[in-house]
Amino acid sequence: MTLIESLKAIVGEVNASEAELDRIAYGNAKAVVWPSNAEEVHKIVMLARRAGVPITARGAGVGLRFANDIIVDMSKMNSVITVANDYVEAEAGVLLDDVNKLLKGKVFPVQPESAKACSIGGMIAANALGIKAMEFGKTGKWVEEVKMVDGNGICLTLKGDALRHVVGLRGATGIILSAKLRLSDAVERTAELLKFNTLTAMQEKLDELKNDADVRNIEFMDEISSSLLGFGMASHLIVDYAGDKGMLKGAEAKEAWDARKQLPFVLGQKRYLNAHELQMPLESITRFLNLLRKDEVPCYGPIGLGVLCPVFRDDSSFASRTDYVYRQFNAKKRKTSNPETEKRVLELKAHYDPKNILSRGKFI
Amino acid sequence: MKCVECGLCKGKCPMVRAVLKETASPRMKGKLHNMERADKLAYFCALCGMHDKECPYNADVPVIKMREKLVKNGVELSKTKEMVENIKNHGSAFKE
């Protein structure tokens, strides 16, 4: 029996394919398989183990899109299991947008820009960052429990500290089946849209805001970004406050954040598609932004966390020398993989996936 | 603007919601269009316009033009041929 025949024997004729169009759709995959339940995922992993064939789980494909493996598309595992007052439990293939629609008076607070299409499993695997990251952190902060099938084919439930063995590891230790996510109260914040004619003035205000206990989020938009959003040719900060401190309330505050949510796409329409996520020391921010401004590179990001995202066009000369420039400013590019993560994944792999069949090449 | 293949159109596409496969997605059609490749997959679209509405980049995934190209090259589905004949002969795509 060939591999594809074996896969079809597990999931049924129409749920496994090596047809050319399916392989193209999944980024030059060797084959694609669409499991419907935990038992099928277990059998797929056991088959891959026996055959020594790498497999990569995939959610909605809005982050990870390319893998020259057998792709395990989790889209058919799309049931919301429980919606309770303070948590929701859902299968990996459920879209965040579908979860949002079920919640009343509560929210899942991490809302990435891809919220309309991203899946719960994908968000956990990538430890996705949302739009108000300073207040809510990454997805992992809100994960209570994960059920997964590891590289040994064992179905596990991870909780507490053990969640570090799956969150953000891009499927390297296991295929996420379902997760229990904590919810937050849907609290309305007041906001302020602050305009700055100089970056020095912005930096001074930023220092002040960092010491303000009522501040929940600080988001930066440079001149180009602000101008494209219709805010005028000046740098801006959107500041979220607990309580009534902000001038923008209700719909007005929402409008400012909605505009910010659109920013990556508005920039994309101008061919600025290559965003770098940088962790910047606060003292370097002004000098760095001045440099970007000279090269007309737009930049935005949750500056309250010290994170900035310059965005480049493919033909940008600046993009070719970023590594050198970032070193000058002690800016760390937030990569999927770095030596520390690789070491940690290697240790975890020895336990969860000793044959290294899962997400091979993502880290090791 | 050509499709940047971000996939944000997928969540609301009725074809993707029905079959739950990337192959059915507007992104796949955008990918084929970017590859200048004509394929019958262009018929796998409800023409509801949702992908145009949802695309945050206002990208052009011209499904009807893709179909037009297929027809010009003699590639048609038997069912669409039947529908054209029905319209000609009975004034209704469904012969009723």
For residue range A60-112, what is the model confidence (pLDDT) as tens digits?
988 765 667 899 999 999 999 999 999 999 999 999 999 999 998 899 999 99
Which residues 6+ apart lie within 8 Å of A234 measured at CB? A195, A196, A197, A223, A226
A213 domain residue, yes or no? yes
CATH code of the domain containing A31:
3.30.43.10
A350 domain residue, yes or no? no
Residues A180 and A198 in one domain: no
Q: What average pLDDT does the segment B34-46 reach?
A: 93
- CA nearest to A112, candidates A60, A41, A73: A60
A120 domain residue, yes or no? yes
Percent of chain B with pLDDT over 90: 85
Residues A125 and A51 in one domain: no
A338 domain residue, yes or no? no
A239 domain residue, yes or no? yes
A34 lies within 8 A of chain B by CB: yes
Residues A230 and A295 in one domain: yes
Residues A317 and A210 in one domain: yes
Q: Which domain holds residue A118?
A: 75-186
Structure-block tokens of residue A90: 């859902």
ipTM of the complex in this document: 0.91
pLDDT for A25: 95
Residues A164 and A249 in one domain: no
**A33/A271 Cα distance (integer angstroms):** 34
SS3 A293: helix
Into how many domains does chain A fold?
Answer: 3
pLDDT of residue A291 exceeding 70:
yes
Read off the pLDDT of residues A240-285 as tens digits, 9 standing for 90 and up.
999 889 999 999 999 999 999 999 999 999 999 988 989 888 888 9
C-alpha distance from residue B54 to each of A59, A225, B59 (Å): 19, 21, 10
Structural domain ending residue among the three candidates A166, A186, A206:
A186
pLDDT for B68: 93
- Mutation test of the interface with chain A: which of B8, B9, B61, choosing the one with the most A Cβ atoms within 10 A? B8
Bigger pLDDT: A318 or A209? A209
Residues A168 and A211 in one domain: no
**A210/A195 Cα distance (integer angstroms):** 17
A101 lies within 8 A of chain B by CB: no
Lowest mean pLDDT among A34-38, A119-123, A327-331: A327-331
pLDDT for A66: 63
Residues A142 and A267 in one domain: no
Residues A25 and A90 in one domain: no
Residue B22: which of A25, A95, A97 has the nearest Cβ? A25
Which residues 6+ apart lie within 8 Å of A137 measured at CB? A110
Mean pLDDT of chain A: 92
H helix and E strand count, chain A: 12, 19
Residue B4: which of A114, A116, A268 has the nearest Cβ? A268
**A44/A339 Cα distance (integer angstroms):** 30
Residues A152 and A56 in one domain: no
